[in-house]
């Protein structure tokens, strides 16, 4: 079901080439999404209606979700699900409030000051996948940090569902109502990103788009980046587990399956120095996969090129491997989990010990589950309050302060052969 990659005895200069990863060709998908985005730009809402009919099988007359549908969805929400959402919101909001940074002020002497202010982005568009699974948790993960950051205008979109009268999944609508988001659209795929980027129908253009999606959503985000800001180019979800002999194979197998459940292209990778553990995990996978609901999807993901059990000589090499892989989610199942975790450099989020599974982080750990994939964790961070804030410098100098610092600026401007720059300073000291 899941292949093995034996790196024992190997000394590779770059372990990234040895660890499995999905073939995710965004450039190829861009050729598909480009005409979609152009149609939405040129034709507006009618283009979206046409794509909703083509891709989702729904007949639309408006992409805007009525307020009554939001209210009804919240009224009909299962009490246990509501309690779960409320706890997830509470925990994430607490984390987000702790993340809030204050500005800074630097004084260089009388009349010379640079102030850094954190300013919320004016308007954001949040994308919530609604394909294989209605990711209601992604509503929470996108909305809460935007609200805590102080974003004034929040629009959210999710795919229209034929079985729900052309509206997004009712649990997604209920979560929006619970969070006070009243601008919600029934649009999915590349056309949703184009709607946010250009504005279409009742939806005004946004400044930033966040949230995960399929390859066509990612391709549209890449295509329109610059016109809009984006959080990341999120590929298929992935988990890496670094485990030694002390790990519980049942726990490890369950966590590999939980990630594979997302998507046939999802990646589940175990890195271990224990062959007995690898054997036990394989046995546990056979039993647990046979009992899981989405057996076909899970089996496809686990048997794909993006998944595998990687055998290494020891935990030192194992740590090198997972740092090279830079997983979206990294679990540490070792005797000294906290010590190992402290040495992780590259991961979207690190789950320390056997009782901190990724599933907890997906919902109610208080962390954000919108994370960098495809190795991007080596240079990018997960979604947080910071994604919805801009750092802006305010420069205040009086005449005397300019005269003191300006001569240095003049010399540097002339060194760059930009005499106009120097003149813009010199003109201010003509009378001094």
Smallest CA-to-CA distance from 105 within 396, 399, 401, 406 is with: 396
Nearest residue to 247 via CA among 339, 343, 353: 353
Secondary structure of 338-361 as H, E, C letters:
HHHHCCCCCCCEEEECCCCCHHHH
**Residues 6 or more apart whose Cβ sits within 8 Å of residue 143:** 126, 154, 156, 176, 179, 181
**Active site annotation includes 294:** no
Structure tokens at 386: 């910071």
d(CA 219, CA 26): 5
The count of other CB atoms within 10 Å of the CB of residue 333 is 26
> What angle separates helix 399-415 from helix 419-426, to the nearest 10 degrees?
160
The token pair at 54 is 């083509």
Choosing from 45, 183, 328, 410, which is the catalytic residue? 328
> For the residues of 140-154, what is the DSSP string, one character each?
HHHHHHHHHHT-SEE
Count CB-CB contacts under 10 A for residue 280.
17
Distance, in Å, from the CA atom of 81 to the CA atom of 26, rounded to the nearest integer, reads 35
CA distance 77 to 290: 31
Whose structure tokens read 């009618």?
46
Write out the two tokens for 137. 């948790």
CB 151 within 8 A of CB 29: no
Contact 267, 236 (CB under 8 A): yes
CA dist., res. 20 & res. 113, Å (int): 51
Catalytically annotated residue among 164, 262, 329, 333: 329
**Beta strands of 163-214 (E only): which ranges?**
184-186, 208-210
Mapping DSSP to helix (H, G, I), strand (E, B) and coil, where does residue 50 land?
helix
Is residue 328 flagged as an active site residue? Answer: yes
Q: Residue 200 and residue 42: Cα distance in Å, rounded?
A: 9
Which residues participate in catalysis according to the annotation?
A: 328-329
């Amino acid at each position: 079901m899941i292949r093995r990659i034996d790196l024992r005895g190997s000394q590779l200069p770059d372990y990234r080439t040895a660890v499995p990863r999905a073939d995710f060709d965004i450039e190829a998908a861009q050729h598909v999404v480009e005409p979609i985005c152009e149609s939405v730009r040129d034709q507006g809402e009618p283009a979206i209606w046409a794509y909703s009919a083509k891709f989702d099988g729904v007949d639309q007359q408006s992409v805007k979700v009525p307020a009554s549908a939001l209210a009804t969805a919240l009224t009909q929400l299962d009490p246990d699900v509501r309690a779960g959402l409320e706890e997830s919101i509470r925990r994430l909001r607490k984390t987000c409030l702790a993340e809030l940074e204050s500005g800074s002020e630097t004084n260089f002497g009388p009349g010379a000051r640079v102030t850094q202010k954190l300013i919320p982005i004016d308007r954001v568009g949040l994308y919530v996948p609604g394909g294989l699974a209605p990711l209601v948790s992604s509503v929470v993960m996108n909305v809460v940090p935007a609200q805590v950051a102080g974003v004034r205008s929040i629009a959210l979109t999710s795919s229209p569902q034929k079985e729900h009268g052309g509206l997004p999944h009712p649990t997604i609508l209920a979560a929006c109502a619970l969070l006070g988001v009243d601008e919600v659209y029934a649009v999915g795929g590349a056309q949703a990103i184009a709607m946010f980027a250009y504005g279409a129908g009742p939806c005004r253009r946004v400044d930033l788009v966040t949230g995960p999606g399929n390859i066509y959503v990612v391709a549209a985000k890449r295509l329109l980046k610059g016109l809009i800001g984006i959080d990341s180019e999120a590929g298929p979800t992935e988990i890496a587990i670094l485990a030694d002999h002390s790990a519980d194979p049942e726990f490890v197998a369950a966590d590999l399956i939980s990630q594979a459940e997302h998507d046939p292209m999802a990646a589940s990778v175990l890195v271990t120095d224990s062959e007995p553990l690898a054997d036990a995990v394989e046995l546990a996978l056979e039993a647990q996969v046979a009992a899981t609901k989405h057996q076909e999807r899970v089996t496809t993901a686990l048997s794909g090129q993006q998944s595998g059990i990687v055998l290494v000589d020891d935990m030192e090499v194992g740590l090198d491997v997972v740092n090279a892989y830079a997983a979206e989610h990294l679990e540490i199942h070792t005797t000294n989990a906290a010590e190992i975790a402290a040495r992780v450099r590259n991961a979207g989020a690190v789950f320390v010990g056997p009782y901190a599974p990724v599933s907890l982080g997906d919902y109610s750990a208080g962390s954000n589950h919108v994370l960098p994939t495809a190795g991007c964790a080596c240079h990018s961070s997960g979604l947080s309050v910071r994604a919805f804030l801009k750092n802006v410098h305010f420069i205040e100098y009086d005449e005397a302060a300019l005269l003191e610092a300006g001569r240095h600026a003049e010399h540097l401007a002339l060194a760059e052969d930009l005499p106009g720059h120097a003149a813009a300073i010199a003109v201010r000291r003509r009378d001094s």
